[in-house]
């Protein structure tokens, strides 16, 4: 049986890491994955060894090392291609479950809506990099830009986060549009962690029920 692919999207500060950790514990403890299969937790960029090097190039705060917008887009595509072929596809084919912190949606939101690059070009690269792999469900943890900035006030920004409020507003608009277009499960990240987790668990249960 093919495994399940779950993705979390959202602007920084939305609580993706917290919810991924809680969901992974719940999945393991409830035993909903077949006994001989595993849960794989990964992220973009940086889910593979090659991806870690790409992540360092992408998020470095030194201006002298910053890639231009098209180079940045191609680096994300390269990271995703390696990620899909090395981690995601093999895991799913074995019947394993995969939870990823970010996937294609982030590239459209950040590079398309944020950087104002050609959306069609980004989607063409998405098709090349993913080769037909798509999530069974994507959760958008929805949070305002103001709350995102407030939550990250004591955390050092990476190169993308340093782009500022207007950039983040455009990224947030991108996530909203993608959520509607691709029928993501949008959850208010302003709710309590317990309520957010309850909503997520309910949706994951549906993945099993509708097989």
What is the distance between the alpha carbons of residues 92 and 28, in angstroms, rounded to a whole number? 17
The CATH number of residue 184's host domain is 3.40.50.300
User: Which secondary-structure segment (H or E) carries 26?
Assistant: helix 16-30
Give the model confidence (pLDDT) of 93-138 as tens digits: 999 999 999 999 999 999 999 999 999 999 999 999 999 999 999 9
Task: Evaluate if pTM is beyond 0.85.
Answer: yes
* Residue 195 CA from chain centroid, whole number: 21
Residue scoring higher pLDDT (125 or 61): 125
Number of domains making up the chain: 1
Are the C-beta atoms of 9 and 137 separated by less than 8 Å? Answer: no
**What would the two tokens of residue 68 be?**
């231009």
Listed range (9-18, 64-73, 110-119) with the worst mean pLDDT: 64-73
- 89 is in which domain, residue-wise? 5-209
Are the C-beta atoms of 205 and 185 separated by less than 8 Å? Answer: no
pLDDT value for 8: 98
Q: What are the Cα distances from residue 187, in Å, to 128, 131, 139, 167, 209?
A: 30, 28, 7, 22, 21
pLDDT value for 74: 97
What is the distance between the alpha carbons of residues 13 and 150, in angstroms, rounded to a whole number? 9
pLDDT value for 114: 95
């Amino acid at each position: 049986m093919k495994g399940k692919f779950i993705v979390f999207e959202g602007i920084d500060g939305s609580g993706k890491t917290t919810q991924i950790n809680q969901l992974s514990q719940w999945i393991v403890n409830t035993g909903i994955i077949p006994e001989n299969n595993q849960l794989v937790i990964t992220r973009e960029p940086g889910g593979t060894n090659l991806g870690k090097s790409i992540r360092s190039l992408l998020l470095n705060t030194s201006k002298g090392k910053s890639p231009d917008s098209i180079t940045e887009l191609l680096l994300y595509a390269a990271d995703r291609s390696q990620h899909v072929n090395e981690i995601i596809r093999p895991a799913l084919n074995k019947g394993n479950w995969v939870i990823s912190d970010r996937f294609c949606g982030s590239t459209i939101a950040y590079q398309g809506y944020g950087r104002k690059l050609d959306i069609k070009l980004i989607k063409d690269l998405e098709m090349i990099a993913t080769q037909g792999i798509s999530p069974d469900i994507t959760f958008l943890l929805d949070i305002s830009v103001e709350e995102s900035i407030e939550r990250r006030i004591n955390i050092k920004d990476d190169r993308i986060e340093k782009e500022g409020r207007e950039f983040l507003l455009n990224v947030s608009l991108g996530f909203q549009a993608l959520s509607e277009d691709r029928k993501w499960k949008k959850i208010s990240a302003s709710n309590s962690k317990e309520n957010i987790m309850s909503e997520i668990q309910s949706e994951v249960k549906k993945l099993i029920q509708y097989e």
